[in-house]
Amino acid sequence: MNKIELILTTLEKMYPNAKAELFYRNNFELLVAVILSAQTTDIAVNKVTPILFKKYPTPKLLKEAVLKDVENIIKTIGLYRTKARNIIKTAELIETHHNGEIPNNRKELEALPGVGRKTANVVLANAFNQAVIAVDTHVARVSKRLGLAKEDDDTLAVENKLVQLFPQDKLQKLHHQLIFFGRYHCQARKPKCYQCPLIAVCQYENKNLLK
């Protein structure tokens, strides 16, 4: 078994049910939820989106929303003022430029307020099954420790390497599995190297071998 197969098999054993923790029922809700999730936990976002989506279930309704009302609904999450403005403006652009449909390409997605490369990748992967992978802090750290990317690679370089190394049809789940692995096992400060099934292929120099 080569290294890539070993990583895939191990992550599948550890996190067979890894998937997005964000709540959404359609592409519009996915896009809004991902915009809201920047620098905030999925759990915090999931607490506000049921109320938000009940009141504003479509881009058409959200673009007409009063800013203060949206701010009130999402005020428990970080950067809520900016995010409230962004999702209203995004809804307006989706309605006026895209006939109410979420764009299925990076260029148009990244032109929406609050949508950067990571957000666009999450939408492209989850809504349109495209072979992309969003790289967050966990994905980047784990990729570097496992030698899938170089220490000084930026986010885009890590993303490109993962896309080249792994089969296309594995990327979507791999994204979630790497996040789980980084969050619960290979943490930034105290990785559980002493019980790591990937230690044989890991290139991290400061392994934590003591419990």
Q: Which residues contact 56 (CB under 8 A, 6 or more apart)?
A: 62, 65, 70, 91
For residues 133 and 171, is the Cβ–Cβ distance under 8 A? yes
Catalytic residue among 83, 118, 161, 170: 118
User: Residue 207 interacts with ligand SF4 (CB under 6 A)?
Assistant: yes
CB of 162 to ligand SF4, least distance (A): 15
CB of 16 to ligand SF4, least distance (A): 19
The count of C-alpha atoms lying within 13 angstroms of the C-alpha of 124, restricted to the half-sphere facing its C-beta, is: 20
Nearer to ligand SF4, 13 or 107 (CB): 13
Q: Which residues of 121-151 are buried (b: 16+ CB within 10 A; e: fewer)?
A: bbbbbbbeebebbbbbebbbbbbbbbebbee
What binding mask, one character per residue, do residues 144-173 give for ligand SF4 by CB under 6 A, x or -? -xx---------------------------
Q: Which residues contact 129 (CB under 8 A, 6 or more apart)?
A: 172
Nearer to ligand SF4, 131 or 199 (CB): 199
Catalytic (active site) residue 190: no
Instruction: Give the H/E segment covering residue 117.
Output: helix 117-128
Catalytic (active site) residue 169: no
What binding mask, one character per residue, do residues 176-205 give for ligand SF4 by CB under 6 A, x or -? ---------xx----xxx--x-xx--x-x-
CB of 8 to ligand SF4, least distance (A): 14
Cα separation values, 50 from 31, 32, 153, 167, Å: 14, 12, 38, 35
List binders of ligand SF4 among 60-99 (CB under 6 A): none
Nearer to ligand SF4, 18 or 45 (CB): 18
Q: Which of 208, 168, 171, 201 is nearest to 187 (CA)?
A: 208
Catalytic residue among 47, 136, 153, 192: 136
Positions in the binding site for ligand SF4 (CB under 6 A): 145-146, 185-186, 191-193, 196, 198-199, 202, 204, 207
Active site residues: 118, 136
